[in-house]
Chain A
């Protein structure tokens, strides 16, 4: 069973090294791929210097969707059976990787999402953030009848079929919620696994107040369009 951990990273030089070492320590059986999304700092160099991860340097900044998709393309072409996506900022705890992967390995789900809300597990984020997540959670339920407490989580494991699907077709920006609805619509099984999360360790969140409005509007529209799109 070949497993790939995909870490999309944009200007995360302060945390990337630690995240890679922690993954290798807690989940040594997996290969690690860092997708350096056109960082302007030393993210790529630090990841390479760790000697523990393969690093793909995107020649231009694509945004999270394009970066993650590069990871899925890599996984698909190199024949990985399982791919796990994890943030580079240290919010996701590598100790939880085995649990998130387990849900997919056991065949219970095609895609397992690590969620901070399924049970009370530490860090929950600011009130505004929780309201936003609640809104998307409701939206996902409305659009495809799926109960997902934290659809914005980028901590997720997928099997071979979904790797192939994401490699050929993945939303371009703020892709997490939309990807869930696309999977549900095409009959894939999406499940949630409770995990511990931390506050971000360093660097800045890509979601500034100004972008929040765009984020909400774009994702809402995308979800509704996905609902009426012919997916066969």
Chain B
């Protein structure tokens, strides 16, 4: 067991989990796309390690694995930002929903009292 086999296994399991979550409707496709966008290149790097070396060389990165860290960190930041925009949108919708439910409930009560 070496680190190449381990990373290969990890990437394939990662992709499998992502696809399985979509299949079970626990993850919407729109968010899954981002995970696949990370998982597929990572699987590529683990299956063909020399690819990482050559791309690092092109970018003048002397220690090839640091390219992986860079990709990982940038991706995490992008994903977190994406999630906070999703939360903001959800918050707006929930606020409006709470307001509408409260106003509807009030109207129902008023009508109930009139009938009684």
> Which A residues are closer than 8 A to B by beta carbons?
54-60, 62, 66, 69-70, 73-74, 77, 172
With contacts defined as CB atoms under 8 Å apart, how many contacts are there between chain A and chain B in the complex? 35
Whether B103 sits at the interface, judged by CB under 8 Å, is yes
Q: Write out, one digit per residue, whether chain B residues 72-103 have a CB within 8 A of any chain A CB (1) or not (0).
A: 00000000000000000001001100110111
Grouping DSSP codes into helix (H, G, I), strand (E, B) and loop, the A interface class, with mixed when no group exceeds half, is mixed
Chain B proximity of A180: nearest CB distance (Å): 21
Contact (Cβ within 8 A) B98 A56: no
Whether B106 sits at the interface, judged by CB under 8 Å, is yes
A residues in contact with B105, CB < 8 Å: 56-57, 59
Contact (Cβ within 8 A) A70 B103: yes
What range describes how many residues of B lie at the interface? 10 to 19
Residue from B91, B94, B102 in contact with A56 in the complex, judged by beta carbons closer than 8 Å: B102
Chain B proximity of A182: nearest CB distance (Å): 16
Chain B proximity of A13: nearest CB distance (Å): 19
A residues in contact with B101, CB < 8 Å: 59
Q: How far is the CA of A61 from the CA of B105 in the complex (A)?
A: 16
B residues in contact with A54, CB < 8 Å: 106
Q: Which of B91, B95, B101, B103 has the most CB of A within 10 A?
A: B95
Contact (Cβ within 8 A) A59 B106: no
B residues in contact with A77, CB < 8 Å: 103
Residue from B91, B102, B103, B106 in contact with A172 in the complex, judged by beta carbons closer than 8 Å: B91
Residue from A56, A57, A172 in contact with B95 in the complex, judged by beta carbons closer than 8 Å: A172
